[in-house]
């Protein structure tokens, strides 16, 4: 019950934070030719990083340079430029840095393939550990000789136990 | 072997700590310009002092150029200004190095007043009201200073104010190199 209440509180707080973040976005009015261009604008302004305020994208930031770049982005879209052309335009001026999703190149290999590599290493480690455990189990299997001895011990134990129980019963009687 | 594995997490955590600690002292604003090694972009804009005079890339190319982005709305530009005057009047540099300004996203009148009030270190200032040349140069604030060689190729971009220390460390070696390149006719 308490858990559920906590969950609801966290959910509302997060929802509030999200809506207030939306409210904080800079307001500009752009008229788009069609819905597709609008969606492309929104997508690109989220993917491109503001060069001045480095932890914000163009859509988020209200710094003058971000406003300029949004306007430039809008104009490039109105000119009918393709997404890749627009990205190239930005990269040739501000460097790879403006891309939140960096291109695959020799310096970004570690970014792109690092996580997969780590997961792979993790899987390998888990497999090795599991293998080791199963070999330990195999060692626990008794040899024929040991099995015999175990049987003997158990039997003598049983005999003892039955005798004991017999004596117990007798005592009770 | 087993002992080494036992210490592996500790070693990894220490390595991570070293990487993150180093990250603390890096300046995130210090990023290489995408334009270093490329030619100066074309432009056609009027000068700040004379609205009838249109200048283009051709007006800049030929000398070793310091291209300084400035604006009246930028406090650091004010701090930098006296040193720019000093550079412009430096007898050793004068024959080789020309200082030009880009008045970036500014208003005409205050910018003109700035130059009369604080003196004008620039050969001329390009009046880039809309920031179009700034955009082509990848400018994202002021002050910024570009070093352009005598072939019109951008050799350096520096974001921030220039003072004696910065000049000695960041600019002087490059300027010397460029002067000798020019003298050798490269």
pLDDT in tens, A79-102: 999 999 999 999 988 888 889 888
Q: Inter-chain contact A93–B136, Cβ cutoff 8 Å?
A: yes
Q: Is A92 on the interface with B (CB under 8 A)?
A: yes
Q: What is the pLDDT of residue A139?
A: 67
Measured between CA atoms, how close is B94 to chain A, in angstroms? 30
Q: What is the pLDDT of residue A23?
A: 46
Instruction: Identify whether the C-beta of residue A51 lies closer than 8 Å to the C-beta of residue A94.
Output: yes
Measured between CA atoms, how close is A89 to chain B, in angstroms? 9
For domain B33-183, the CATH superfamily is Glutaredoxin (3.40.30.10)
Residues of chain B with pLDDT > 70, as a percent, come to: 97
Whether A168 shows a pLDDT value over 70: the answer reads no
Average pLDDT over residues A153-168: 74
**DSSP state for residue B183 in the 8-state scheme:** H
Q: What is the pLDDT of residue B108?
A: 93
**Closest residue to B138, CB basis, from A54, A64, A93:** A93
Q: What is the pLDDT of residue B1?
A: 61
- CA A82 to CA B87: how far, in whole Å? 45
The residue among A10 and A173 whose pLDDT is bigger is A10
Whether A42 shows a pLDDT value over 50: the answer reads yes
Coil vs helix vs strand at B103: strand
Token match 């921030």: residue? Answer: B160
**Kind of pairing, strands B125-128 and B97-104?**
parallel
End-to-end CA distance of chain A: 57
Could you give phi then psi for residue B84, rounded to 5 degrees?
Answer: -65, -40
Is cis: bond before B143, omega within 30 of 0? yes
Name the H helices within B126-184.
132-136, 164-166, 172-183
Please list every residue in chain B whose beta carbon sits closer than 8 Å to the beta carbon of residue A51.
Answer: 138, 140
- CA B180 to CA B176: how far, in whole Å? 6
H or E element: which one contains B148? strand B144-148
Average pLDDT over residues A130-150: 80
- CA A60 to CA A55: how far, in whole Å? 9
User: Mean pLDDT score of chain A, rounded to an integer?
Assistant: 81
A171 — pLDDT class (breaks 50, 70, 90):
low
- CA B144 to CA B70: how far, in whole Å? 7
Average pLDDT over residues A109-128: 94
Q: Inter-chain contact B28–A51, Cβ cutoff 8 Å?
A: no
- CA A10 to CA B176: how far, in whole Å? 61
Measured between CA atoms, how close is A37 to chain B, in angstroms? 23
- pLDDT string in tens for chain B (186-residue length): 677 788 889 999 999 999 999 988 887 666 667 888 899 999 999 999 999 999 999 999 989 999 999 999 999 999 999 999 999 999 889 889 999 999 999 999 999 999 999 999 999 999 999 889 999 998 988 899 999 999 999 999 998 899 999 999 999 999 999 999 988 887
Residue range A6-25, pLDDT digits in tens: 666 666 666 665 555 444 45
Which residues make Cβ contacts (< 8 Å) with residue B143, sequence separation at least 6? B68, B69, B70, B74, B76, B77, B80, B159, B160, B161, B162
Q: Inter-chain contact B136–A91, Cβ cutoff 8 Å?
A: no
Q: Which CATH architecture has domain A11-98?
A: Orthogonal Bundle (1.10)
Q: Inter-chain contact A93–B137, Cβ cutoff 8 Å?
A: yes
Q: Inter-chain contact B140–A92, Cβ cutoff 8 Å?
A: no
């Amino acid at each position: 019950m308490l858990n559920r209440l906590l969950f609801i509180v966290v959910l509302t707080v997060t929802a509030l934070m999200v809506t207030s973040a939306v409210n904080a976005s800079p307001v500009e009015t752009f008229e788009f030719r069609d819905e597709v261009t609008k969606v492309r604008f929104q997508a690109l302004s989220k993917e491109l990083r503001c060069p001045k305020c480095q932890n914000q994208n163009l859509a988020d930031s209200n710094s003058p340079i971000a406003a300029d770049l949004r306007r430039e982005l809008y104009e490039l879209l109105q000119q009918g430029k393709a997404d890749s052309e627009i990205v190239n335009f930005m990269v040739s001026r501000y460097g790879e840095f403006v891309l939140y999703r960096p291109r695959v190149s020799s310096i970004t290999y570690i970014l792109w393939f690092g996580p997969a590599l780590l997961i792979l290493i993790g899987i390998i480690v888990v497999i090795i550990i599991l293998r080791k455990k199963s070999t330990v189990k195999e060692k626990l299997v008794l040899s024929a000789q040991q099995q015999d001895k175990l049987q003997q011990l158990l039997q003598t134990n049983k005999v003892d136990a039955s005798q004991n129980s017999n004596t117990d019963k007798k005592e009770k009687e | 072997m087993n002992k080494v594995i036992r210490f592996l997490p500790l070693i990894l955590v220490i390595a991570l700590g070293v990487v993150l600690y180093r990250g603390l002292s890096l300046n995130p604003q210090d990023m290489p310009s995408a334009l270093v090694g490329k030619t100066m972009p074309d432009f056609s804009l009027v000068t700040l002092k004379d609205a009838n005079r249109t200048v283009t890339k051709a007006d800049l190319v030929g000398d070793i150029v310091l291209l300084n982005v400035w604006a009246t709305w930028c406090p650091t530009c004010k701090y930098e200004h006296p040193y720019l005057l000093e550079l412009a009047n430096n007898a050793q540099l004068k024959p080789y190095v020309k200082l030009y300004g880009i008045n970036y996203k500014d208003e005409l009148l205050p910018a003109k007043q700035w130059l009369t009030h604080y003196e004008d270190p620039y050969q001329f200032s390009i009046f880039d009201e809309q920031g179009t040349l700034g955009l082509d140069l990848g400018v994202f604030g002021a002050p910024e200073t570009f070093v352009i060689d005598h072939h019109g190729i951008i050799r350096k971009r520096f974001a921030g104010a220039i003072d004696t220390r910065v000049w000695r460390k960041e600019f002087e070696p490059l300027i010397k190199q460029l002067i000798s390149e020019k003298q050798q006719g490269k």
